[in-house]
Structure 1
Amino acid sequence: MENNYILNPNPLVQFLQKEQKDFTKADIIRYVTENEIEMINFRYVGGDGRLKTLNFIISSLEHLDSILTYGERVDGSSLFPYIEAGSSDLYVIPRYRTAFLNPFSQIPAIDILCSYYTKEGKPLESAPEYTLRKAHEEFKKVTGMEFQAMGELEYYVISEKEELFETADQRGYHESSPFCKWGDFRCECMRAIAQAGGKIKYGHSEVGNFTIGNTQYEQNEIEFLPVNIEEAADQLVIAKWIMRTLASQYGIDLTFAPKITAGKAGSGLHIHTRLVKDGKNMYIADGKLTDNALKAIAGILDIAGSLTAFGNTNPTSYFRLVPHQEAPTNICWGDRNRSVLVRVPLGWTEGAEKMVSDANPLEKADASFDAGIKQTVEFRCPDGSADLYLLLAGLAVAARHGFEMQDGIQYAKDRYVSVNIFDDAHKATADRLSHLPASCAESAECLEKQRSIYEAHGVFSKNMVDGIIKQLKAFNDRTLRQDIGDDKARLTELVKMYMNAE
């Protein structure tokens, strides 16, 4: 029989000979007992967006079965700011499909992501992971389609300056060694993420590179493949944990911060989306965007301001979202246009299957080539401060909202832009468009105005939305960008404050 898993980098998938999504409790027990695993680690995301950990040393088969069946209790008030201490006990229950071999533990260990449940045994309504699950379920009910996403994870590696083979300032895009200093580190991260179940598209160096004194800053990116939005969020959370842990072992710093210093490229977290039904990409037909795509785009544009509450969550986010940079500020969309908020990147059009045979004369064109499957629609404003589960939940809500809008298709057509709107020659076009918030305070106001869209269908809980609005307002940053201006010292202080904030 052909081995369909021979190239799969995940050791559990290779051993169990099944997809990760099909893992059962019995599978986990089998792997543990036959591979001398000594520890189970529960992982779950707190209100700060970072992975938390609960370690179990396995003492017997009965103990292992108990851990995997009943989960454990945790203090919800220490994990989420909107949970009262008087009624804060929660259960964390493992999701077997997320199990992976810990790449760092000296004690052989299996890590598993968990979901939160209340004392009544029901999912915690305000848990980010459950919010995402609800958002996807409601989207599928309304549209009959699956919502898929992939992230572009940009980051800076911070290290001592190397004198040899320096790259020109802000010219690091797709650079190779020896000019790219941290390519091997990036590849090691990619392998560890893939072994943990991450579906990676590719990795490369990015534009940003500069030095301050003896410190070198080099920007890289790891991009993922489209998967359903629940899996997309899980793998991004695990990826960020792996990358930071590996950086710590290397003795270097790594940050997903939106902005490092003035005048240099910031780091975004662009999210590509795709609608799929029966294995077909519903964004495109006959080489053109479908009405489904226009409706989804309309919904995202209509509530783009409030989506920043989940995707741009601290004051440094808004030092990246400034005019005349690649980061967007105007609420519009376009094809292959990096000045817009929602971009339709270059796809693979009809006839594209002939390219490989032209480049390789010994190859014949593939008649089964699906020109449309790769087409995505990209949301360009989020950054590394995003709450990944809530951001993807918000995008699913926005896309569903587009299908529920009476005039969604026309709304999208009216906001299509084919020019670089940062060019002074097109100022009139830019002036007619709405703008993204310029601070956390403005983001909170947008969420207050549009909260009913998120709370509809019971997706976002009222308590969670209240908590997010309160947290954003607490930054008190309405005039911060103007106050700091070109003062690099003050910007540096601000960046340090939020360097490792999610």
Structure 2
Amino acid sequence: MSYDLIDLNPHPLVRALDKPAEEFTKADIMTYVRSAGIRMINLRYVAGDGRLKKLNFVINSAAHLDRILSMGERVDGSSLFTAISADSSDLYVMPRYRTAFLNPFTEEPTLDLLCSFFDADGQPLSSAPEQIVRAAQSSLRRRTGATMEALGELEYYIFSEVDSIYPIVEQRGYHESHPFSKWGVIRREAMMHIASIGGQIKYGHAEVGNIVHDGVEMVQGEIEFLPVPVEDAADQLVLAKWVLREVAYRNGLEVSFAPKIIVGQAGSGLHVHTRLVRDGRNLLTTPDGLSDDALRVIAGFLDSAPSLTAFGNTVPTSYLRLVPHQEAPTNICWGDRNRSVLVRVPLGWNGIGASMGQSANPGEPAESFTAPVCDPQTVELRSGDGSAHVHLYLAAMTVAAAHGLTDPGALEAARAWYVDRDASQVEGLAQLPDSCARSAEALSAHRARYEQDGVFPPEVIDATIRTLRAYGDDRLSERLYGDAGALNALVREHLHCG
């Protein structure tokens, strides 16, 4: 086993079992339970609302543990999914061994496992979020021979009393360090826990948003992940939200992923970077730059952009963030290194890493600067926010990529949507929806592409449309303009969305 995998891996089970998590077996789990003195098992799963649920077990015996791991358990599906009726509601949850992790928050040694849902016939539940994202990946693979990798940029705010020593400067928090930036200790603790439960973290930092309002200090942070298969990317974002909430709560603090806290101040997005991979190679690049496949993926995102908001911008306050002349996009277009566009192609290394490394470290030999196994170039979709139903959003993005990759007109469309300046200054660009109501209309218009290959069951699309329409938020910004009390009430209502 490689030095990298064991000695530097923060996952206790990986070190103890001397193997990567994707190779964990039932026997491995039982061995670890005995050796580590585990007393409890938690089965966890993401339900229809996108939140992480939990079922607790005290381990009574080896036979009891074997039964849990072999058979899972029954749950009431009607309480977890709106489309399941109470008169036939039983579902099974079955643990996925590769997701096992040591719970970092319990007093008694506890092992947690993520689960998949199965129906009464033992078939995967087609409406379960983890199954939808898996189906989207399978459809993409069948149609293109490639798989989607993704990473999320998870932004959030922490609320606390105002610190009169080294006061924060509003809208000037980007990459600031302590003591001018607050609550980095929360971010660092959360990052260590996320890594210990299997999350693949790229880095964390202070974000732009610094707000002082009514005696409360709100500071924005971000944790960004590494690209992993889209199914794993969804799981690690949901787990990361759970960890951040737990760490903040245990420190007497409140954390929010809400898309907007104060109108006119930076909101919290969920930017998602993607890669298209086949046989370990990133298909988004060629030696000369972006590939045609990259342009097709971009076209798929842009053509699907209005309906993607149904999964990535799910509450009325999402559309207080998606307003002109702020960093959140409103125009449907793309560009290179351009933060005013909807789809951004971020700066890549293009083989210059070694030359920069040698320039910064003149005594270092050239051979010590190793190139990544897979080209790190990504394509970033910037519309999503902290209200996103993460599994459905990443599944929908995968569907959108497949749509672009198989659309004969995608290359021409991508070239037409390119913008090389501030997108707000370009006339004639199509716009994202401005409310949940308009987002529901867009999803209704595009539903056939999401339902293709059975990826999104019709009942999930129907439920999403109903939920969005129920907010009744058409022309909301106009109706609430100047009404600070109503705006504050709306923000508070959706403060803990997602």
TM-score, structure 2 normalization: 0.98
- Counterpart amino acid of residue 393 in structure 1: A
Q: Secondary structure at the match of 2:6?
A: coil
Q: Which residue of 1 aligns with 2:487?
A: 491
Q: CA deviation at 1:350?
A: 3.1
Q: Which residue of 2 aligns with 1:293?
A: 294
Q: 2:397 aligns with which of 392, 395, 398?
A: 395
Q: 2:433 aligns with which of 431, 437, 443?
A: 437
- Counterpart amino acid of residue 338 in structure 1: R
Q: Deviations over 1:65-101 (max 9, x none)?
A: 0001110111111111121111111001101111100
Q: 1:468 aligns with which of 454, 459, 464?
A: 464
Q: Deviations over 1:402-453 (max 9, x none)?
A: 111111111111100001022xxx3xx3x32111000000000000010000
Q: 1:15 to 1:345 in 2, by over 3 A?
A: same
How do 1:91-490 and structure 2 match up within 5 A?
91-366=92-367, 368-370=370-372, 373-422=375-424, 426=425, 429=426, 431-490=427-486
Please, which moves more after superposition, 173-182 or 369-378? 369-378
Are 1:259 and 1:267, in contact at CA under 8 Å, matched by a contact in 2? yes
Q: What is the number of residues matched between the two proteins?
A: 496
Please, which moves more after superposition, 459-468 or 486-495? 486-495
- Counterpart amino acid of residue 91 in structure 2: L
* Distance in structure 2 (CA, Å) of the matches to 1:277 and 1:497: 43
* Distance in structure 2 (CA, Å) of the matches to 1:486 and 1:315: 17
Are 1:262 and 1:486, in contact at CA under 8 Å, matched by a contact in 2? no
Structure 1 segments unaligned to the other structure (5+ residues): none
Please, which moves more after superposition, 206-215 or 447-456? 206-215
* Distance in structure 1 (CA, Å) of the matches to 2:48 and 2:452: 22
Q: CA deviation at 1:180?
A: 1.0
* Distance in structure 2 (CA, Å) of the matches to 1:90 and 1:370: 43
* Distance in structure 1 (CA, Å) of the matches to 2:165 and 2:358: 40
State, as a whole percentage, how many aligned pairs show the same letter.
54
Q: Secondary structure at the match of 1:273?
A: strand
Are 1:268 and 1:381, in contact at CA under 8 Å, matched by a contact in 2? yes
Are 1:343 and 1:380, in contact at CA under 8 Å, matched by a contact in 2? yes
Q: 1:408 to 1:86 in 2, by over 3 A?
A: same
Please, which moves more after superposition, 364-373 or 431-440? 364-373
Q: Secondary structure at the match of 2:84?
A: coil
Q: CA deviation at 1:259?
A: 0.1
Please, which moves more after superposition, 432-441 or 80-89? 80-89
* Distance in structure 2 (CA, Å) of the matches to 1:101 and 1:312: 32
* Distance in structure 2 (CA, Å) of the matches to 1:342 and 1:83: 36
Q: CA deviation at 1:351?
A: 2.9
Are 2:351 and 2:371, in contact at CA under 8 Å, matched by a contact in 1? no
* Distance in structure 1 (CA, Å) of the matches to 2:437 and 2:212: 32
Q: Which residue of 2 aligns with 1:61?
A: 62
* Distance in structure 2 (CA, Å) of the matches to 1:452 and 1:67: 39
- Counterpart amino acid of residue 139 in structure 2: E
Q: Deviations over 1:126-161 (max 9, x none)?
A: 111100000001101111112100000000000111
* Distance in structure 1 (CA, Å) of the matches to 2:336 and 2:97: 40
- Counterpart amino acid of residue 233 in structure 1: A
Q: Which residue of 2 aligns with 1:43?
A: 44
Q: Secondary structure at the match of 2:202?
A: strand
